[in-house]
């Protein structure tokens, strides 16, 4: 099986496939063009492909191009729908298994985790104040308050993860927190997974890091705003979900 996906999949789950191409690789663009057949033939891992499994609804450009190139096209609807009810990942798995004739139970593999060179002292707290969308960023005072309540009287080191677009959110949290904290800039994802798995607790927004926290087995709290946690909450029994208020127009936007 060859996988074309975001690079994070290769970092966190290197053993789930035979070969991998990052979705942003230049060669992938050719699969959307009228020359898709030539693009497939030119790539060592693609030239013998017989089936293209696409996690989207039918009728897309790439589905049409793969069909024109002679591949069997299997479309898996990866949209959760209104009644997903917190079973989004399981629903996508069930659709995939049914389409491909796969037997077996749904399970969540643990991500690849690697201890950082500078391990924090135990116990420690991990906070990720950012998100992929500013609308999903909870008020800094709310995140700081949750952190204080969970930290209680423990002498925990506070680690703040800062992604490439998190400058403002991290600055806001540090101002609201007002105490000692160590900022970790853009840690490699396996190191982030290790920190999340070993943290006394985690605090974050609806973000990719929070989803990583769930599959890493973290304990803590994820704060949702405009998105519906009944659909999008992370996996993991150790994560509590809270909401922060948003206006109705924000809640209606995708």
| Structural domains present in the chain | 2-75 (no CATH), 124-252 (3.40.50.2000)
Mean predicted confidence (pLDDT) in 12-34: 95
pLDDT at site 88: 77
pLDDT band at 252 (very low <50, low <70, confident <90, very high): very low
pLDDT single digits (tens) 229-238 = 988 889 888 9
Lookup result for tokens 């992604």: 163
How many percent of the chain have pLDDT more than 90? 74
Q: Is the dihedral of CA 228, 211, 127, 188 positive or negative?
A: negative
Torsion over CA of 243, 176, 201 and 14, rounded to 10 degrees?
Answer: 90
Residues 6+ apart with CB under 8 A from 227: 136, 206
Mean predicted confidence (pLDDT) in 177-194: 97
């Amino acid at each position: 099986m060859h996988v074309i996906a975001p690079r994070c999949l290769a970092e966190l789950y290197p053993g789930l496939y035979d070969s991998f191409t990052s979705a942003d690789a230049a060669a992938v663009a050719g699969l959307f063009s009228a020359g898709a057949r030539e693009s497939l033939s030119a790539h060592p891992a693609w030239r013998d492909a017989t089936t293209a499994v696409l996690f989207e609804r039918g009728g897309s450009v790439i589905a049409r191009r793969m069909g024109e190139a002679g591949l069997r096209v299997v479309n898996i609807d990866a949209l959760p729908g209104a009644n997903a009810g917190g079973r989004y990942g399981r629903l996508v798995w069930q659709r995939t298994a049914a389409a491909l004739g796969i037997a077996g139970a749904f399970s969540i593999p643990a991500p690849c985790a690697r201890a950082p060179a500078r391990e924090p002292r135990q116990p420690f707290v991990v906070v990720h104040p950012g998100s992929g969308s500013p609308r999903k960023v909870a008020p800094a005072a709310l995140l700081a308050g949750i952190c204080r309540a969970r930290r209680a009287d423990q002498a925990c080191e506070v680690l703040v993860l800062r992604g490439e677009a998190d400058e403002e959110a991290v600055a806001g949290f540090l101002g609201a927190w007002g105490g000692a904290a160590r900022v970790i800039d853009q840690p490699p994802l396996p190191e982030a997974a290790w920190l999340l798995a070993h943290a006394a607790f985690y605090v974050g927004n609806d973000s990719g890091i929070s989803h990583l926290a769930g599959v890493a087995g973290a304990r803590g709290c994820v704060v949702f705003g405009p998105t519906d946690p009944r659909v999008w909450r992370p996996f993991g029994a150790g994560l509590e979900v809270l909401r922060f208020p948003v206006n109705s127009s924000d809640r209606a936007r995708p």
